[in-house]
Amino acid sequence: GGLSGLTSALFLARHNVDYLLIEKHTGTAIHPKAGGITFRTMEIFRQLGLEAAIRTASEPLDNIRGRIAVETIKSIDPEKLETAENSQKALEKERIENFEKVSPSKPASCYQIELEPILLQAVKEEKGNIRYNAELIEYQ
């Protein structure tokens, strides 16, 4: 019932293959893990008709770029931070331009906590069987 299982279920359903998705958790992710989606993965989501929904979900993170490591918030040097931010923006612009040369899709920043419900909704609109809060003990 995570990203791989839901995406697989969606592809199986779209190809008229019956499936049973079993997930031990009670629902989709509850923590904001796995936040970066590559352009190739976005191409796959585009094929599934989910790119627009994922772009909408990723809007809050669209302008968050890079990371800094500091001992305390107070120790941040505003000039160094601005220099790092400008450098990151230039790299990002170049990176996006390179993606646009090879793909109709660009990367997205969307946490798993936002992405899984989008996938789950799409899977529910197809045929198939999803069981949360379950465990597969034996298969014969």
pLDDT digit string, tens, across residues 9-37: 999 999 999 999 999 998 888 887 887 88
- Could you tell me the residue range of the domain that residue 28 belongs to? 1-34+111-140
pLDDT at 65: 60
| DSSP output for 46-84 | HHTT-HHHHHHHHGGGTT-------S-GGG--HHHHHHH
Residues 91 and 46 in one domain: yes
Mean pLDDT of 79-91: 77
Q: Is the pLDDT of residue 92 over 80?
A: no
**How many domains is the chain partitioned into structurally?**
2
Residues 1 and 59 in one domain: no
Residue 62 near residue 109 (C-beta atoms within 8 A): yes
Residues 116 and 96 in one domain: no
pLDDT at 67: 65
Q: Give the ranges where the chain is alpha helix by DSSP (H).
A: 3-14, 39-47, 51-58, 78-102, 112-124
DSSP helix/strand/coil, 124: helix
Residues 63 and 92 in one domain: yes
Q: What is the pTM of this model?
A: 0.76
Would you put residue 90 in left (φ > 0), alpha (ψ -120 to 50) or beta?
alpha
Residues 106 and 68 in one domain: yes
Residues 57 and 29 in one domain: no
Residues 61 and 95 in one domain: yes
